Amino acid sequence: MERWKGGQAMAHIVVAGAGYAGMLAALRLRKTRAHQVTLVSASPNFVERIRLHQTAADGTRVESPLTRLIAGAPIGLVLGRIAELQPARREILLADGTALTYDRLIYALGSQTGTSAVPGVSAYAHRLNNPDSAARLYAALLERHAGRLLVVGGGLTGIEAAAEIAKRHAEWQVTLLSAGTLGADLSPRGQDYLRAALRRKGVSVIENQRAARLEADRAYCAGGAVESFDMCLWAGSFEVSKLAAQSGFAVDAAGRILVDAALRSISHPEVYVVGDAAASGLRMGCATALPMGAHAADSILADLDDEPVQPHRFGYTVRCISLGRDDGLIQLVDPLDQPRDRIITGRPGAVVKELVCQGTWYSLEIERRLPGAFTWNRAEVPSSLRPLPSLA
């Protein structure tokens, strides 16, 4: 049986992925210096993914060097793309051939914009996957100067991008195409505000039309409608890496790793899974990724100390939607994410949204200085007992 207590050998904890969940986990693992922590990242930078629509609209850069985020912390940093996992050997293989073994792994590889379900997306649409792809959209908007931009996807990414681009580029005619009812998870007041705000910004909204195929200048919808465009931004859904499924982890239909109440892989319990990569019962978001990262770190330290591991509990409080930087919609929700009647809108909403964005960044900075400081709202019901949200 593994024993790490009482001065026996250090455990090696590898954190795979340096997004919101992985960063918070790596920083928090330093609550004790008893174990060796290695952070593996494909990128040398931490990317504030929740601001990528800002890069697309005005070129704002939203990344910072990982070396700055972990400055002074005893965390080993390995830069490289993980190409393969060998869970039976507790080993990670990087694309350059480097092999890393672990005693515990935190899998935090996040998600990307989904491209596989709809033909033509990779060839004809821009995506907000990383700062470079967002910057390419910005350059393209400037280069062409004016035209029709079709934003496909009525989720947070699509709404925020459509509003921000319409606000900054009045010469572009922006249309938002949503497969369902826009803002279906908001209160009636929230939905009304969202529609009115988009209208004020000149964004045309088409609802209940699912794009099924893209060509160079048009989107074909499942119901037969055709939408022409000069440029398309695809924000239709998120999809996760196929690595987990290919490596033999138990995954759901979308490829997210199935986890128990403590966020351990049900097929490989020495692997904790956090953020968008986990089929955890929580919606994908940095709001859920940070607490999951913190919980995984706490659980691993408890587990290595032979302490009982607790279920992850998370209670929602708000949904924050940026509608251009002068307008925002804050939908208050109950701990299970059901909308309350109360909303905060307009400039106060934009201020709250900006504070929330800054808060995610400062959460990491504070955790760097004071490991263990990050705290969150915990619901009565463990997250894993909730129904799994869809990826759309």
Ligand X SMILES: Cc1cc2nc3c(=O)[nH]c(=O)nc-3n(C[C@H](O)[C@H](O)[C@H](O)COP(=O)(O)OP(=O)(O)OC[C@H]3O[C@@H](n4cnc5c(N)ncnc54)[C@H](O)[C@@H]3O)c2cc1C
Residues that bind ligand X (CB under 6 A): 17-22, 40-43, 49-50, 52-53, 81-82, 108-111, 128, 156-157, 160, 241, 275-276, 284-287, 289, 320
Q: How far is the CB of 89 from ligand X (least distance, A)?
A: 18
Complex with ligand X: residue 191 or 288, whichever CB lies closer: 288
Complex with ligand X: residue 283 or 313, whichever CB lies closer: 283
Complex with ligand X: residue 124 or 314, whichever CB lies closer: 314
Whether 330 contacts 29, CB under 8 Å: no
Q: Which residues of 47-85 are buried (b: 16+ CB within 10 A; e: fewer)?
A: bbbbbbbbbbbbebebbeebeebbeebebebeebebeeb
**What radius of gyration, in Å, describes the C-alpha atoms of the chain?**
21
Whether 277 contacts 109, CB under 8 Å: yes
Q: How far is the CB of 226 from ligand X (least distance, A)?
A: 27
Q: By beta-carbon distance, which residue lies closest to ligand X?
A: 19
Complex with ligand X: residue 47 or 304, whichever CB lies closer: 47
Q: How far is the CB of 228 from ligand X (least distance, A)?
A: 25
CB atoms within 10 A of CB 155: 21
H or E element, residue 158: helix 156-168
Complex with ligand X: residue 221 or 291, whichever CB lies closer: 291
Complex with ligand X: residue 241 or 247, whichever CB lies closer: 241
Whether 40 contacts 116, CB under 8 Å: no
Whether 57 contacts 46, CB under 8 Å: no
CB atoms within 10 A of CB 332: 16
Complex with ligand X: residue 100 or 221, whichever CB lies closer: 100
**In the structure encoding, which two tokens stand for residue 377, read together?**
């709202």
**In the structure encoding, which two tokens stand for residue 327, read together?**
């307008």
Rounded Cα distance, 42 and 33, in Å? 25
User: What is the DSSP-derived secondary structure letter of residue 325?
Assistant: T
Q: How far is the CB of 224 from ligand X (least distance, A)?
A: 30
Q: How far is the CB of 54 from ligand X (least distance, A)?
A: 8
Q: How far is the CB of 387 from ligand X (least distance, A)?
A: 18
Q: How far is the CB of 292 from ligand X (least distance, A)?
A: 8
Rounded Cα distance, 232 and 228, in Å? 9
Complex with ligand X: residue 289 or 309, whichever CB lies closer: 289
Q: Which class for 220: exposed (0-12), middle (13-18), buried (19 or more C-beta within 10 A)?
A: middle
Q: How far is the CB of 348 from ligand X (least distance, A)?
A: 17
Rounded Cα distance, 266 and 259, in Å? 5
